Structure 1
Amino acid sequence: MHTDTTSQNLPKVNAKAEDFLPILGTDFVELYVGNAKQAAYYYQTAWGFQPVAYAGLETGKKDTTSYVLQQGKIRLVLTSPMGEGGNINRHISEHGDGVKFVSLWVDDATRSFEETVKRGAKPYAEPYTIEDEHGKAVISGIHTYGETIHLFIERKDYEGPFLPGYKAWTKVYKTETVGLKYIDHMVGNVGWNEMNKWVNFYADVMGFAQLLSFDDKDISTEYTALMSKVMSNGNGRIKFPINEPAEGKKKSQIEEYIDFYNGAGVQHIAVATDNIIETVSELQRRGVEFLNIPETYYDTVLDRVGEIDEDLAPLKELGILIDSDDEGYLLQIFTKPVLDRPTMFFEIIQRKGAQSFGKGNFKALFEAIEREQDLRGTL
């Protein structure tokens, strides 16, 4: 579980952030899925997430079933509806499986709600308290891009496995973890000319500041282009790149996402590891599929990024990308979509000082994505 108990203990690393909204970190990411039980098995078996908590018929919940999984500080909640009709079924029908709630761990969920709504956020849930024998938690929420919601979770008076209403989920079946530590960043895809609207939302409504910006000259291939800006809170625990499509000869991955997701949403979750070679080797062994990078990429990569600690051979064999900035370098790799629709995927990242997002890899990455789009007939 998280160890920091108040945001006041956390140093400010993004000096430009107004930071009126103290955030301790990501609390959990909740996906609406068609079959939570089987999705939980996938994330346990392939990704090494551990069973934490459960809510469903056995706990008195009649309308939904939810499984909570954790690895390091990463908490996933997988929720399915138990009957026909209703908003969750509609969400799954329109979007497929996907992220509904990006939940933020805060000192004060009431103040977080009041401060963001005062600055223009559309309310999703006014602050409410839930409690059980393990204590109480306060939750509130606001709307963001598409149907994505930010929940504010205040849990300082709660000692249970996840949240009130959930029971500990202890299973005989457990897998070994794969070394995932925390969520490094989460990327939102928004529609044409909407990036600056949502950049301004995170600046004005949530007190974030822009870390980096990429335009269509940075992020383009012969066929496709996109624009991206990275927003971060003051302590750097929360980083949200926002992508929008840009004009290209063919359909970009952002357009493909928006077409299949039917709107804006979370494109990928970047999860951190301290040993990307071990993590990716084990994920591949368990059947997780990654984008294929041409071997020629490795012919010149060290000329571009300089000296690295790792041997190049295993990075080349696994298809791991390398990039550098003024503060160091990073290693990263991207899965193929983890759902039937070409929407959500994961990034595995290991930072060796670098605070950037792999700008030098964009061309190789997007060409790899285009090869997959071509196979799907959506380029």
Structure 2
Amino acid sequence: MQTPPDDPMAAAGIEFVEYTAPDTQALERLFVTLGFAAVARHRSKHVTLYRQGDINFIINHEPNSFAQAFACKHGASVCAFAMRVQDAASAYKRALKLGAKPYRGPVGPMELNIPAIQGIGRSLIYLVDRYGERSIYDVDFLPLTGTPARVDGVGLTFIDHLTHNVRKGRMDEWASFYERLFDFSEIRYFDIQGQKTGLKSRAMASAGGKIRIPINEPSDRHSQIQEYLQAYGGEGIQHIALATHDIYTTVESLRERGVKFLDVPETYYEAVERRVPGHGEDLERLRRDRILIDGATRQQDVGLLLQIFTETVIGPIFFEVIQRKGNEGFGEGNFQALFEAIEREQMQRGVL
């Protein structure tokens, strides 16, 4: 379904993800390790912009701010993200009419007043209609000396999706939130059961698919989703999926930099040829890099998805690296293997 060109909510992607922490130095080191570079600082606030490809990460360590209050409650966390929309003012007005809760923060002289509403776990969703060559950073940020116009880093290119974790019984409520306010629709539904725990998930997407937001809820009190909720101090963003055009090179570069990924059992790779026949990937390199593969192979149509997940790196939050080869899913065939891998790790820690 295509979004009408005059729709103010027409979503063109995620402009930035904003992070905070009681002490942001660990975030700064993490982003550099992930291949990002600091490219600009806010004109009047303790806010730094990191970039790689078309991915913008913001670290907010402004004293006495919304971000610092959020960090006091959640620790290192994602306190906001921004949606690219066609008309931010109209989109904001429409969202309020439909029941969204507004947020109004302090704005300095000659700075943009970016509209925002409350989102998951009282984090913020900013609505941005200045992006690309004419962006919000041109007004509110000062470029750092010596930074390149483009940061290629380890080959990460854009934000593929943001996954939310919510309390049991709240998945449908948050799915409705995105349906009602932003014209999202459900594109996938999952009900996953491990040896001892389970989860349910509804994957939501904007018209045109530029923004994807899976929403998970726990099936029981020992679920890894429930553990996240307890560690995080409430609902929030569980992981950020970052796209690449060459997952092997990206993952190998990240490993060289010290990034640790979730381990995958050897039996997973023994079953790849049976599960995804004719995939055409280098199975030995896939196995060596511990990359997951999913998709369907048909006579003249191969739709594959390659993905891998880091260990938790920002409190209970982790990152996913993903490469799509004609597959628009979320690695449904890998969910069980991933779920069981995390469950084994929970068992090792004595949580289960």
1:316 maps to which residue?
287
* Residues 1:258 and 2:246 are matched in the alignment: no
Shift of 1:278: 0.5
> Paired residue for 1:373, among 338, 341, 346?
346
* Residues 1:299 and 2:270 are matched in the alignment: yes
Gap regions ≥5 residues in structure 2: none
CA–CA separation in structure 1 for the residues paired with 2:291 and 2:107: 44
Is the 1:137–1:163 contact (alpha carbons within 8 Å) kept by the matching residues of 2? no
Shift of 1:38: 4.4
Is the 2:171–2:217 contact (alpha carbons within 8 Å) kept by the matching residues of 1? yes
1:23 maps to which residue?
11
Q: Deviations over 1:311-369 (max 9, x none)?
A: 10011111111111476111110000013x3x100001111111111111112101111
Is the 1:109–1:138 contact (alpha carbons within 8 Å) kept by the matching residues of 2? no
1:348 maps to which residue?
321
2:83 maps to which residue?
104
Shift of 1:270: 0.5
RMSD of Structure 2 on Structure 1 (CA): 2.7
TM-score scaled by structure 1?
0.84
Question: Which amino acid is 2:193 matched to?
Answer: S
Q: How do 1:239-278 residues align onto structure 2 when only pairs under 5 Å count?
A: 239-247=212-220, 251-278=222-249
Same amino acid, percent of matched pairs: 38
> SS where residue 139 of structure 2 aligns?
coil
* Residues 1:202 and 2:173 are matched in the alignment: no
CA–CA separation in structure 2 for the residues paired with 1:204 and 1:175: 36
Residue 157 to residue 70, structure 1, CA distance change in 2 (3 Å): closer
Shift of 1:92: 1.5
Question: Which amino acid is 1:41 matched to?
Answer: R
Is the 2:308–2:322 contact (alpha carbons within 8 Å) kept by the matching residues of 1? yes
> SS where residue 115 of structure 1 aligns?
helix
Q: How do 1:175-190 residues align onto structure 2 when only pairs under 5 Å count?
A: 177-190=153-166
Question: Which amino acid is 1:52 matched to?
Answer: V
CA–CA separation in structure 2 for the residues paired with 1:295 and 1:21: 45
CA–CA separation in structure 2 for the residues paired with 1:214 and 1:333: 19
1:150 maps to which residue?
125
> SS where residue 369 of structure 1 aligns?
helix
CA–CA separation in structure 1 for the residues paired with 2:144 and 2:206: 33
Q: Deviations over 1:221-242 (max 9, x none)?
A: 1111000001111121100000
Residue 304 to residue 117, structure 1, CA distance change in 2 (3 Å): same
TM-score scaled by structure 2?
0.90
Question: Which amino acid is 1:144 matched to?
Answer: G
Deviates more, 1:344-353 or 1:361-370: 361-370
> SS where residue 236 of structure 1 aligns?
coil
Q: Deviations over 1:156-190 (max 9, x none)?
A: 69846825332112357999611101111100000
Is the 2:112–2:136 contact (alpha carbons within 8 Å) kept by the matching residues of 1? no
Residue 242 to residue 164, structure 1, CA distance change in 2 (3 Å): same
Shift of 1:371: 2.4
Residue 176 to residue 209, structure 1, CA distance change in 2 (3 Å): closer
> SS where residue 337 of structure 2 aligns?
helix
1:359 maps to which residue?
332
CA–CA separation in structure 2 for the residues paired with 1:317 and 1:47: 20
> SS where residue 336 of structure 2 aligns?
helix
2:209 maps to which residue?
236
Is the 1:221–1:367 contact (alpha carbons within 8 Å) kept by the matching residues of 2? yes
Following superposition, which runs of at least 4 residues in structure 1 exceed 6 angstroms of deviation? 128-131, 172-176
1:279 maps to which residue?
250
Residue 131 to residue 354, structure 1, CA distance change in 2 (3 Å): farther
Question: Which amino acid is 1:310 matched to?
Answer: E
* Residues 1:90 and 2:69 are matched in the alignment: yes
> Paired residue for 2:303, among 282, 307, 328?
328
Question: Which amino acid is 1:166 matched to?
Answer: F
> Paired residue for 1:53, among 40, 46, 50?
40
1:4 maps to which residue?
none
> SS where residue 207 of structure 2 aligns?
coil
Residue 322 to residue 316, structure 1, CA distance change in 2 (3 Å): same
2:49 maps to which residue?
68
Residue 376 to residue 240, structure 1, CA distance change in 2 (3 Å): same
Gap regions ≥5 residues in structure 1: 1-11
Residue 37 to residue 244, structure 1, CA distance change in 2 (3 Å): same
Residue 225 to residue 157, structure 1, CA distance change in 2 (3 Å): closer
Q: Deviations over 1:277-332 (max 9, x none)?
A: 10001101100110000111111112111222321001111111111147611111
1:140 maps to which residue?
115
Question: Which amino acid is 1:118 matched to?
Answer: K
